[in-house]
Amino acid sequence: MPEQATAESVERRVVLDLDRCIECKSCMASCYYGHGRMAGVQFVDIGPAVLPIVCRQCDDPACVEVCPAGAMQRDERGVVSRGIFSCRGCGSCARACPFGVLSLEMVGHQIAKCDLCEDRLQRGLDPRCVAVCPTGALRFATVQQIEAEGLTVIGGRVAGDHPIRRR
């Protein structure tokens, strides 16, 4: 059974276990259909593999800082979301994101943005991409939970502009 999220669990992040991802893109499909046909999960081809990248919900998000319309907001629970009616689709956030998780490709003049499936969080459920992942490669967990299992969280500190290789 997937881990059940709680109201205070937005400290959790969607984490990818590189040793389990089979590149099936189930996460992308679930995000696409769950968010009005805009997928917040993107895929990046790093040569040996094609891996999903999901918003890290940064503590100090560059996307919020650069958004000229104030559409990007980080709420009191730490969830960075994009206001549907404020977003002008200028692409500033996508260019500013150091992780490359925001696609410049726009749907309906809007940037697709992961909101951790807030509707599901409110019901105590994991985000769609995590719930749907057949291999358990995507987890909704805190860094502490992952490290307690002897796994290493990578990508915490970044330099350069490639979302995976720079790690």
Positions that interact with other proteins (CB under 8 A): 1-2, 20, 22-26, 28-30, 32-39, 48-49, 82, 84, 113, 115, 117-120, 123, 125, 128, 131-136
Q: Which residues of 19-49 are buried (b: 16+ CB within 10 A; e: fewer)?
A: eebeeeebbbebbbebbeebbbbbbbeeeee
Query: Is the Cβ of residue 68 or residue 134 nearer to other proteins in the bound state?
Result: 134
Radius of gyration of the chain (CA): 15
Q: Which H/E stretch holds residue 34?
A: helix 26-34
Q: Which H/E stretch holds residue 119?
A: helix 118-121
Query: Is the Cβ of residue 68 or residue 108 nearer to other proteins in the bound state?
Result: 108
Residue 17 Cβ, how far from other proteins at the closest point, in Å?
10
Query: Is the Cβ of residue 48 or residue 160 nearer to other proteins in the bound state?
Result: 48
Residue 21 Cβ, how far from other proteins at the closest point, in Å?
9
Query: Is the Cβ of residue 28 or residue 97 nearer to other proteins in the bound state?
Result: 28
Distance CA 134, CA 119 (A): 22
Residue 67 Cβ, how far from other proteins at the closest point, in Å?
16
Residue 159 Cβ, how far from other proteins at the closest point, in Å?
26
- CA nearest 54: which of 135, 116, 131, 144? 116
